Amino acid sequence: MAEFTMELNDEQKEVRDWLHGFAADVIRPAAAEWDEREETPWPVIQEAAKVGIYSLDFYAQQYFDPTGLGIPMAMEELFWGDAGIALSIVGTGLAAVGVLANGTEEQIGTWIPQMYGDPNDVKVAAFCSSEPDAGSDVASMRTRAVYDEAKDEWVINGTKTWATNGGIANVHVVVAVVDPELGSKGHASFIVPPGTPGLAQGQKFKKHGIRASHTAEVILDNVRVPGSCLLGGKEKLDERLARSREKAKASGGERVKNAAMATFEASRPAVGAMALGTARAAYEVALDYAKTREQFGRPIIDNQGVAFQLADMRTQIDAARLLVWRASWMAVNGKPFTAAEGSMSKLFASETAKTVTAQAIQILGGNGYTREYPVERMHRDSAIYTIFEGTSEIQRLVIARTLAGMPIR
């Protein structure tokens, strides 16, 4: 077990500086254009692939960093560049992690390379979980997968929403209900190969922020996939469902629900790190502006009203990083989140991003309200962090019920 430390080692510093350079030189100069276009920034993704950032190998190296700091460090730097473009770069990782976590070696070797493509022909993947009536409440999922034993095929029907890369992806990973009586434990994940009949893009959402990231509905109408596309395989699924049924009988279903929530709890620090990157970017713009902008014959940072805002902004950012890094270290080292530390980190960092970006606009005054300065875009982008991967209200509920020793529903 790695000791918890706030000091990055030399290798981590080298990776951080490399990512920061890419974010500064490639992502930031393109940010305003792709935000206005509201399109997937394929040229930027291709550049990321050429240097090795858009690849499974890179994210695997960060994920298996024993300190737990690899992923949050990478997320902070990329999202410091721009949230929309960064999400387009890392969005495929959601689907890849789903395959890595649940797939067989053969499935991993077959499908993950197809998710990324190569630097000359980049591909993207989509992870499809949320539904119109099942966002925070994963137990309300309605998309069904029924096994056709005669053909060894699964038939999937339903509608997914808020899917990053949904409809434009080469490979879709779809979560569906296979046993409704088991709630979230009755779900399974399926690969939908490219060109599969019945899968179509629904509405593409025109969003308030992160507009360079493609977000859409995915319609599944009698989508048939081979039995080999069930992640983990049929035998493993049957064994898991049997165990879940026994646990549900023994515990009234509570252990089933808690196990599902624990999975989300472990992934939330990464979203906190995304928010942290956006907050830090806005703070740095505001700090530079306050040092150079003069009113009444002196820089505005000489005024306590501005200086105190900057002091609060920096304090919140540093506190958010502490929470994110602590939760990331705990997750990698198998420390139980006895006080919902994962949700704490995501909650505080998300709210910090909204607060800090709003304060940055205030410090820049009229300039901050225009698109000539990036803080306006950063503020729009920051709103998503308190919504996706569990709203701030859900985070508070998880924390409160954990502290009270109550089941998380």
Give me the active site residues, please: 389
CB 112 within 8 A of CB 56: yes
Amino acid identity, position 339: A
For residues 374 and 33, give the distance between their C-alpha atoms in angstroms, rounded to a whole number.
12
Pair of tokens at residue 2? 């790695």
Helix, strand, coil % in the chain, rounded to nearest 5: 60, 15, 25
| β-strand partners of 148 | 153
For residues 278 and 282, give the distance between their C-alpha atoms in angstroms, rounded to a whole number.
6
Residue 205 per-residue DSSP state: P
| β-strand partners of 153 | 148, 226
| β-strand partners of 122 | 117
CB 280 within 8 A of CB 76: yes
9: how many CB neighbours lie within 10 A of its CB? 11
Q: Which residue has the tokens 């309300």?
A: 140
For residues 169 and 177, give the distance between their C-alpha atoms in angstroms, rounded to a whole number.
22
CB 290 within 8 A of CB 300: yes
Q: 259-270 burial, b for 16+ CB within 10 Å, e for fewer?
A: ebbeebbbbbbb
CB 212 within 8 A of CB 85: yes
What is the tally of helices (H) and strands (E) in the chain?
Answer: 13, 11
E runs forming strands in 208-302: 215-226, 294-295, 298-299
